Structure 1
Amino acid sequence: MKKLTIIYLSNGGNVEVLANHIAKGAKDAGAEVLIKLVSEATMEDVTGADAVAFGSPSMDNNRIDQKEMQPFIDKFKLAPVNNKTTGLFGSYGWDNGEFMNKWISLMKEYEFNVTQNLTVNEAPSNEQLAEAEKMGKSLVK
């Protein structure tokens, strides 16, 4: 059984909704799922999983959250993640989702294998929730 860890930060609840749908997709595919707020997550939550998904809203200057998510991600700058299968997801309100491209580049620099990403404008649509479930399934294949 594959293990997926989902770590996220959500301000308005949209990223949390996506996280829950990613978890549902992975569970439906038979995976063990650990889902945590970034404030409660540990490096072992990431290194001990077969795959990981990170979620953040777009914040200041088209970036992921700088108070909690960025410092957590930065812990992996020198830690071996062995090209771990990774999904990134998030929401934006005004920046056209540009933060996701920056985030993907950063994660690749830290040697995460970003195979999936999903951005939504404000609240996810039913179609986007279905995409989130597909992401969960795909991450644990």
Structure 2
Amino acid sequence: MTSILLVYASMTGNTEDMAQAIAEGVRLAGAEVVVKDVLDANKHELANHDGILLGAYTWGDGDLPDEFLDFYEEMDDLDLTGKKAAAFGSCDSSYAEYGAAVDTLIAKLRELGAEVELDGLKVELSPDAGDKETCRRFGQQFAGLLQP
């Protein structure tokens, strides 16, 4: 069975809500998903899964949240060549850089050799019912990319 690791950071629960809806979509597509808060994740776990989903809210003027920084920096020596990956996060359009943390994660995944075939999923603040459905479809679509 296809296995996906979903690692996220969430301060207010918005990105966590997205992560849960994406995980539902992955399961609906018939794949297994392990969901972890970034503070409970280890970079070496990324190699043990077929797919990688990273989620983070954008902090301040376009930064990764502090709790994601250690994990992000520890990823530097990984080789993710051949791994499928995607990124998502809650955003706030009142800032000049909308969802820049998602873009930062995508750039890191590509730098490490991962195949990022989906655009980053960005949701304005708290996901409503329609946004959660979009998240579920995102999870299904991502899991579909891993099917032989």
Q: TM-score, normalised by structure 1?
A: 0.89
1:1-141 alignment, distance < 5 Å: 1-65=1-65, 67-93=66-92, 94-95=94-95, 96-116=98-118, 117-141=120-144
Gapped regions of structure 2 (runs ≥ 5): none
Preserved contact between residue 63 and residue 103 of structure 1 (Cα < 8 Å): no
The amino acid across from 1:76 in the alignment is M
Structure-1 separation of matches of 2:86 and 2:143: 11
The amino acid across from 2:84 in the alignment is T
Q: Deviations over 1:91-139 (max 9, x none)?
A: 1223232443333223222222222321111111322211211121122
Secondary structure in 2 matching 1:68: helix
Secondary structure in 2 matching 1:52: strand
**Higher normalized helix content (fraction of residues):** 2
What is the RMSD of the two structures over their aligned residues, measured on CA atoms?
Answer: 1.6
Q: Deviations over 1:51-97 (max 9, x none)?
A: 011111100320221x2212212222221112421111111223232
| Structure 1 runs, 4 residues or longer, greater than 3 Å off | none
Identity %: 24
Structure-2 separation of matches of 1:57 and 1:84: 23
The amino acid across from 1:119 in the alignment is K
Structure-2 separation of matches of 1:70 and 1:51: 21
Preserved contact between residue 4 and residue 139 of structure 1 (Cα < 8 Å): no
The amino acid across from 1:121 in the alignment is E
Deviation at 1:14, TM superposition (A): 0.5
Structure-1 separation of matches of 2:105 and 2:21: 21
Preserved contact between residue 81 and residue 112 of structure 2 (Cα < 8 Å): no
Preserved contact between residue 87 and residue 135 of structure 1 (Cα < 8 Å): no
Deviation at 1:35, TM superposition (A): 0.4
Which 10-residue stretch deviates more, 3-12 or 119-128?
Answer: 119-128
Gapped regions of structure 1 (runs ≥ 5): none
Structure-2 separation of matches of 1:33 and 1:98: 25
Q: TM-score, normalised by structure 2?
A: 0.86
